[in-house]
């Protein structure tokens, strides 16, 4: 009952409240972005939604307008050179994600769920198919986001998304929702271009231990 009815009800109510309460702060952020660099305030991109349908995700723009459009950040040779001054702050605090409240309200996203993959992230989409993680609405935050975020390798991220789908409940959504605030405040797992960074750190530690 929660998965098929109440979850969507909570999405509508909470996203609408978020839009109302955060309207003024979002306006301020929009002005900062406009003053900081030339280009649009919002960044739009094709992403994978429920049942692998396509939808347009909305974010505050954090990169220069000449950045390769459909390339995941971790595939850019030097992600930092593309990010604007205001963008660094927005990405570190995850405030660039706030416009997705509108996506949640209209039903293309949920507050909690697997983060929406780029339409051309075929490796992640394929991995998620193994766990049924493409058959739920993507989320603003999720189980993988509070357990590693950018640091996770794709197979690990997909497996965590699968765990979320299998255990989906009101309690787990609450755990993800409140856990997100803790992760954002600590900037946990935020690594520009850092997919798989957690594993690389572990391998470095092992190498150093062997040398000792």
Q: What is the pLDDT of residue 207?
A: 53
When the pLDDT of each residue in the chain is averaged and rounded to a whole number, the result is 88
The pTM (predicted TM-score) of the whole model is: 0.83
Is the model's pLDDT at 201 over the cut of 50?
A: no
Are 144 and 160 a contacting pair, CB within 8 Å? yes
Are 111 and 10 a contacting pair, CB within 8 Å? yes
Is the model's pLDDT at 51 over the cut of 90?
A: yes
Confidence of residue 98 (pLDDT cuts 50, 70, 90): very high
Q: What is the pLDDT of residue 176?
A: 96
Q: What is the pLDDT of residue 191?
A: 57
Sequence-distant (6+) residues with CB within 8 A of 124 are 117, 154, 157, 158
Confidence of residue 204 (pLDDT cuts 50, 70, 90): very low
d(CA 189, CA 140): 15
Long-range CB contact pairs, 160-164, < 8 A, 24+: 161/114, 161/128, 161/131, 161/133, 162/128, 162/130, 162/131, 162/132, 162/133, 163/131, 164/112, 164/113, 164/114, 164/133
| Token pair belonging to 33 | 């972005």
DSSP string, 5-16: IIHHHHHHHHHH
- The closest alpha carbon to 139, from 160, 122, 158, 116, belongs to 116
Are 170 and 2 a contacting pair, CB within 8 Å? yes
CB-hemisphere CA count at 13 Å for 117? Answer: 25
Q: What is the pLDDT of residues 178-191, one digit of tens each?
A: 999 888 877 665 55
- The closest alpha carbon to 113, from 3, 23, 1, belongs to 3
């Amino acid at each position: 009952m929660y998965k098929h009815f109440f979850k969507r009800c909570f999405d509508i109510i909470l996203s609408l409240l978020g839009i109302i309460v955060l309207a003024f702060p979002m306006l301020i952020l929009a002005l900062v972005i406009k003053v900081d660099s030339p280009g649009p305030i919002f960044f739009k991109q094709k992403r994978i939604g429920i049942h692998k349908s396509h939808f347009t995700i909305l974010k505050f723009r954090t990169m220069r307008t000449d950045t390769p459009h459909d390339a995941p950040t971790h595939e850019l040779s030097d992600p930092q050179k593309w990010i604007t001054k205001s963008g660094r702050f927005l990405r570190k605090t995850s405030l660039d994600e706030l416009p997705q409240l509108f996506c949640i309200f209209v039903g293309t996203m949920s507050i909690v769920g697997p983060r929406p993959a780029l339409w051309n992230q075929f490796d992640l989409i394929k991995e998620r198919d193994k766990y049924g993680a493409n058959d739920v609405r993507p989320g603003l935050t999720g189980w993988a986001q509070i357990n590693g975020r950018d640091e996770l390798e794709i197979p690990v991220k997909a497996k965590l998304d699968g765990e979320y789908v299998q255990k989906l409940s009101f309690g787990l959504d609450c755990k993800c929702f409140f856990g997100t605030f803790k992760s954002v405040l600590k900037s946990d797992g935020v690594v520009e271009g850092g997919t798989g960074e957690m594993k690389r750190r572990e391998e470095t530690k092992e190498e150093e231990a062997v040398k000792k």
